[in-house]
A and B are shown apart, each in its own frame.
Chain A
Amino acid sequence: MEKGEWVVVIGGGSTGTGIARDLAMRGVPTTLIEMEDLASGTTGRCHGLLHSGGRYVVADPATARECIEENRILRRIAPHCIEDTGGLFVAVTDEDLEYLPRFLSACRKTGLPAEEISVREALAIEPHLSPRIQAAVRVPDASVDPFRLAVANAAGAREYGAEILRHTKVVGLVKEGDAVAGVRVAEEGDGRERVIRSRFVVNAAGAWSGKIAGMAGISLELVLSKGTLLIFNHRIVNTVINHCHPAGDGDIIVPAGTVSILGTTSVTVPEPDHDRYGIEDEEIPYLLEKGSAMAPFVRSARVIRAFAGVRPLFEGDEEGQGHYGHGEHREHDDRAVSRNYVIIDHETVHGIKNFLTVTGGKLTTYRRMAEAAADVACARLGVAAACRTAGEGLPGVASTEKPRNTFTICECEFVPRAEIQDRLEKLNAADSPQPPQALLADLRRRTRIGMGTCQGAYCGYRTAGVAHETASFSAREANWMLAKFLQERWKGTRPVLWGDQAREAALVAHIYRGIFNIDEKVQ
């Protein structure tokens, strides 16, 4: 039987790649289909916090327990995707101090290791913390690289025989009577459509899962909640900083690689596509104000970019939906809707066979979601093999020893030419053709080019040059990928155009428009 004829997984985020690997490890031939790139959806637009569970421990202890359990497992199986930064919950106001005992007792009950440290010690660890903080609690939060995590899961799935189709969009479901029998896909390049038949389809399209379900005539009640985040030019903190209060906006700062990220907001949006929603002007000062309660330095530190991701929040809680959520429900408060995942076996709920939707959840709990979803699929397929993902480490993504003495292409993120060439080769050898216009963005997710201070100004043209020189992309294609890349980088710079970033952007504009004559027109 061909690979696709067993299971098709839709969505190349943490959930989809996790499911593909889980199924492949159980010996189930699997095809993963992603319309853009791995981690190009919410996964690559999240905060990158490997939750300890502290954020949920008071309001939703069950979720908190899942977080701490998965936190421990991921540290074991994906150490190369995680930086053990540790986390701090800091109490700033008197209300925070009232919340503190509830927080500590909930941590105790949930088995979440939380240790109160002195304010002086907290300030010594993180000098940019507000001198006004009144208490600090240490928890095992960590920082996780979502791009690496998704790419590692996909690579792991591929090692077990799964097929990974990127830049391939599911445009319809193949239905036979009351059963789903495959998917209709279109390739990003020429848009040519073809059918991939399968015995089972897993809808792991995250915020898009309502659209996929719609293709089977099923309506899912998803609230799409956009969260905006700000990236600072350097590590203003080296520990995850949480505001010790009931979960709110702008109350977490996560150190990530060379940068740190403050977030988030929560604004309901009608569409999940990132070119369909923008970042509102007022979100930026709002985040800075919220963040400055914990660390006043955020107001003066350089912000290089703003970005946003969309959470699919599940509202429907009808009997028998197979709803695994634990949260309380309150009207008109995005955050009160469960942050936990739902798995809907459409045969039980809607009478449509061979079709399953898994959505919601967190990056932190992706493995558990994947396990639960794969369990359901395997039961339907009559596969008895059990999940093994908690025990087996993910393949090392950073297998390329960064060779010294090759020309540094990205000077902000220290990416040598050899690493870029290596990644280029891998993308060219992938299961699906690499669309040239997406190449730089795809390389960015794998190498961090363009993610530093200059936002692609120098690595962009250098990488396009390497692609032209070594990987048979034409000069026209190289121009095209560069223009696309710059446009996409510009999108995130635009909301934060003040101070040094505005000066930087002016320089970049002068270079590209003035010297290279690259404009929107280049195609």
Chain B
Amino acid sequence: MATIQDSETERDPRLTSDQCIKCQICTAYCPVARVTDRFPGPKFAGPDSQRLRFLPEPVLDLSVDFCINCKTCNLVCPSGVKPSDLNTLARANYVAARGQVPRNWLLGHAELLGRLGSAAAPLTNLVLRDRLVKAIMEKVMGISKERTFPAYARRTFARRFAGRKRGRLHGAGGDSVPSRPRQAAKARKVAYFAGCFANYNDLELGMAVVEVLEHNGCEVVVPPQVCCGLPLIANGEMAAARKNGEFNIKSLGKFAAAGYDIVFSSTSCGLTVRSDYQNLLGLEGAERIAARAYDISEYLLLLHDEGRLDLAFEPGESPLRLAYHAPCHLKAHGVGYPAVKLLQLIPGVEVTDLGKICCGIGGTYGFKKEKYQISMDIGQELFEAIRNSGVPLVASDCETCRIQIEHGVPEVHAVHPAILLREAYRRAEARGRANGRSAERYSQDKDK
């Protein structure tokens, strides 16, 4: 389809701009261009502007900063152009030329926030929820006072997992490649990339993922890992992102080489490692990891296809009606909506796909003062759809989507699908135990 098919495009993603036929499909789908004039849309900010960026003194236009980095444009473009990547590179150039602003530096280094946040938790959470503190943060830092940072946990997931597994801590915390597999030879081996959110904020999610995988006979390890680097990329800090990427590739690479599949419970971390490491950062060895990388729901569905997924889910007391929101970055994985199929396997669960484009959070985007309103305007359609559906529960694979959903529709609760799967397994186990006891009794009775 595209004419530039030689190695040049592979070396330089900017050259995909030559493939644009100006059809405007990307702009029609861009969630930001719909709600604000401050962003001219992916065609204009991407391939059109890229032509000016080939000039020796490229035009530095900060309108790309309003791109929410949802990658919808990459997905819908019929010509193989990657407007989102062009925007990201342009933003990085801008930051390199004009310098970084402290707020974006801080949001980019989300992992540092996580580390400090959990070290001082629960004090951090109290402070971050204080209205005065929020007002000051908005004034001084440009972080919207409407937003609340997710609560930080006192222990990290990595520690909790290591404690539970009696395993040693290693490097940045995590397992080393075991010399002998702990499970049967045929069992799938999983190296779990928890990501900052599960590690610092939502430990339950991390534990649920491990539990569900182990329940299905997988051997699970948690390799040493640092932030995937997406917040850094989104805030124009390419060099720092590259460093994180190199660390993760080295660490995950060892597991991949030893036959481990790499599983992510954050769609965005997964996408970054799977796609951006290679396409945007050009990191060496990225393709070896990408070949073994899976989103958790995608992975579980794969187990199901292989007939390995335990289907003995136990429904709850009453039938559960829930809505599903597909994160943009999940769509960018190009794997469909595996979570919907999984949830439908649970008896009594009724899932409606909300079918809306974007929740509007865009990772750190929606936390920025000047973008808060845009973020909420984008989300409006989704919020309404949730309200209209009347469900109490929304499942979504992405942590910031869940934050946005609960922010926009405070009366609903948003969860990761893995949490629901774990509950169904736990219920089944609990019943199994109960049944088991009665069965035992029955056999004892018979023996008599």
Which A residues form the contact surface with B (CB < 8 A)? 85, 233-235, 238, 258-259, 297, 300-302, 408, 411-412, 414, 452-454, 457-458, 498-500, 503-504, 507
Q: With A234-B50, A300-B3, A300-B5 in contact, do A503 and B21 touch (Cβ < 8 Å)?
A: yes
Of A414, A457, A500, A507, which is within 8 A of B18 by CB? A500
**Is the contact region of chain A dominated by helix, strand, or loop, or is it mixed?**
loop
Which residues on B sit within 8 Å (CB–CB) of A500?
Answer: 2-3, 18-21, 79
Q: Is the CB of A235 within 8 A of B21?
A: no
Complex: A235 Cα to B50 Cα, angstroms: 10
Instruction: Name B19's closest neighbour in chain A (CB-CB).
Output: A500
The 8 A CB mask of B357-393 against A (1 = contact, 0 = none) is: 0000000000000000000000000000000000000
Of B52-60, B185-193, B438-446, the one with at least 4 CB within 8 A of chain A: B52-60
How many Å lie between the Cα of A411 and that of B22 in the bound state? 9
Q: Out of B5, B23, B43, B56, which one reaches A507, CB within 8 Å?
A: B23
Indicate if the CB atoms of B4 and A300 lie closer than 8 Å. Answer: yes
B423 CB within 8 Å of chain A: no
| Nearest CB of A to B42, in Å | 12
CB-based contact A235/B48 at 8 Å: no
Contact-size category for B: 20 to 34
A238 to B8, CA, bound (A): 17
B40 CB-CB contact with A under 8 Å: yes
If A300-B6, A302-B4, A503-B79 touch, does A412 touch B54 (CB 8 Å cutoff)?
no
Residues of B within 8 Å of A452, CB to CB, are 48, 51
User: 12 A-B Cβ contacts within 8 A?
Assistant: A234-B18, A238-B55, A258-B54, A300-B3, A302-B3, A302-B19, A408-B40, A412-B48, A498-B3, A499-B2, A500-B20, A507-B22
Asked if B17 is at the interface (CB within 8 A of a chain A CB), the reply is yes
Instruction: State whether A411 touches B3 (Cβ < 8 A).
Output: no
* Minimum distance in angstroms from A301 CB to a CB of chain B: 7
Contact across chains for B48 and A297 when beta carbons are under 8 A apart: no
> B313 an interface residue at 8 Å Cβ cutoff?
no
Q: Which residues of B contact A233 (CB under 8 A)?
A: 18, 51
Is A412 within 8 A of B3, CB to CB?
A: no
Query: Contact between A234 and B51 (Cβ–Cβ < 8 Å)?
Result: yes
Chain A residues within 8 Å of B19, by CB: 302, 500
Mark each residue of chain B from 1 to 39: 1 if its CB lies under 8 Å from any CB of chain A, else 0.
111111010000000011111110000000000000000
A503 / chain B contacts, CB cutoff of 8 Å: 1, 21, 79
Tell me if B247 is interfacial: C-beta within 8 Å of chain A.
no
Closest to A304 in B: B18
B44 within 8 A of A: yes
Q: Please provide the 6 A-B residue pairs with the shortest distance between their CB atoms, ordered closest to farther.
A: A499-B3, A235-B54, A302-B18, A504-B21, A454-B22, A258-B51
Query: Are A408 and B44 interface neighbours, CB within 8 A?
Result: yes
- Most A CB contacts (10 A, CB to CB) among B4, B50, B51 go to B51
B36 to chain A, nearest CB (A): 13
Tell me if B43 and A235 are in contact (CB < 8 A). Answer: no
Smallest Cβ-Cβ distance to A454: which chain B residue: B22
Least Cβ–Cβ distance between A234 and chain B, in angstroms: 5
B18 touches A412 (CB 8 A): no
How many whole Å from A231's CB to the nearest CB in chain B?
A: 12
CB-CB under 8 A from B4, the residues of chain A are 300-302
Which residue from A258, A259, A504 sits with its C-beta under 8 Å from B22?
A: A504
Interface string of B46-80 (1 = CB under 8 A from A): 01101110111000000000000000000000010
Task: A408 to B21: give the CA distance in the assembly, Å.
Answer: 18
Nearest residue, chain B, Cβ from A511: B23
Most chain B beta carbons < 10 A, residue from A235, A301, A503: A503
Residues of A close to B5: CB separation below 8 A: 300
Q: How far is the CB of B20 from chain A (nearest CB, A)?
A: 7
A457 contacts B22, C-beta separation under 8 Å: yes
CB distance from B175 to the nearest CB of A (A): 43
B8 partner residues in chain A, CB cutoff 8 A: 297, 300
Q: Give B316-372 interface residues, CB cut-off 8 Å to A.
A: none
Chain B residues with CB below 8 A from A235, complex form: 51, 54-55
Which residues of chain B are near A300, meaning CB under 8 Å?
A: 3-6, 8
Residues of B within 8 A of A504 (CB): 21-22
Q: Which residues of B contact A454 (CB under 8 A)?
A: 21-22
Instruction: State whether B21 touches A234 (Cβ < 8 A).
Output: no
Flag if A411 contacts B18 (CB, 8 Å): no
Q: How far is the CA of A412 from the CA of B20 in the complex (A)?
A: 11
**Additional A-B contacts beyond A411-B22, A499-B2 (10; CB < 8 A):** A234-B50, A235-B55, A300-B5, A411-B43, A412-B48, A453-B51, A499-B3, A500-B18, A500-B79, A503-B21
Residues of B within 8 A of A507 (CB): 21-23
Q: Among the listed B1, B6, B48, B55, which residue makes an inter-chain contact with A411, where contact means beta carbons less than 8 Å apart?
A: B48
Which partner residue on chain A sits nearest B40 by CB separation?
A: A408
In the bound complex, do residue A453 and residue B2 qualify as a contact, i.e. CB atoms below 8 Å apart?
Answer: no
Once the chains bind, are B3 and A453 in contact (CB under 8 Å)? Answer: no
Q: State A498–B2 Cα separation when bound (angstroms).
A: 10
A238 touches B2 (CB 8 A): no
Residues of chain B with a CB closer than 8 A to A258's CB: 51-52, 54-55
**CB-nearest residue of chain B to A299:** B6
Decide: A238 near B51, CB < 8 A? Known: A411-B43, A453-B20, A500-B18. Answer: no
Query: For the complex, what is the distance from the CA of A197 to the CA of B215, rounded to whole Å?
Result: 100
Residues of A within 8 A of B43 (CB): 411
- On whether A453 and B52 interact (CB within 8 A), knowing A302-B3, A408-B44, A498-B3, the answer reads no
Give min CB distance, B11 to chain A, whole Å. Answer: 9
Across-interface contacts of A457 in B (CB, < 8 A): 22
A458 — which chain B residues lie within 8 A by C-beta?
22
Please give, as numbers and ranges, the residues of chain A lying within 8 Å of B55 by CB-CB distance: 235, 238, 258
Nearest A residue to B52 via CB reads A258
Q: Is the CB of A234 within 8 A of B3?
A: no
Whose C-beta in chain B lies nearest to the C-beta of A236? B54
| Interface hub of A259, A300, A414, A499 (most chain B Cβ within 10 A) | A300
Name which residue of chain A comes closest to B55, CB basis: A235
A72 to chain B, nearest CB (A): 21
Which residues of A are found within 8 Å of B52, using beta-carbon distances? 258, 414
- Complex Cα spacing A453 to B66, Å: 24
Q: Are B22 and A453 in contact (CB under 8 A)?
A: yes
Chain A residue nearest to B49 (CB atoms) is A414
- Contact yes or no, B18 A301, CB < 8 A: yes
Expressed in whole angstroms, the Cα–Cα distance for A166 and B313 within the complex equals 83
Closest to A458 in B: B22
> In whole angstroms, how far apart are the Cα atoms of A507 and B17 in the complex?
17
Closest chain A residue, CB of each to CB of B7? A300
Q: How far is the CA of A235 from the CA of B55 in the complex (A)?
A: 7
Q: Say yes or no: A238-B22 contact (C-beta < 8 A), given A300-B8, A412-B48.
A: no
Residues of B within 8 A of A297 (CB): 8
Find the A residue at minimum CB distance from B56: A238
Q: For residue A297, which residue of chain B has the nearest CB?
A: B8
CA distance A370 to B288 in the complex (A): 66
**B57, chain A: closest CB distance, angstroms:** 10
Structural contact, A412 and B22, CB atoms closer than 8 A: yes
* CA distance in complex: A130, B8 (Å): 13
Which residues of chain B from 199 to 217 have any CB-CB distance to chain A below 8 Å in the complex? none
Query: Which residues of the other chain, A, contact B21 by a CB distance below 8 angstroms?
Result: 454, 500, 503-504, 507
- Inter-chain CA distance A414–B17, complex, in Å, is 16
Across-interface contacts of B2 in A (CB, < 8 A): 499-500
List B contacts of A85 (CB < 8 A).
56
Most chain A CB within a 10 A radius of its CB, from B4, B19, B20, B21: B21
B 224-259 binary contact with A (CB < 8 Å = 1; else 0): 000000000000000000000000000000000000
A363 to B295, CA, bound (A): 61
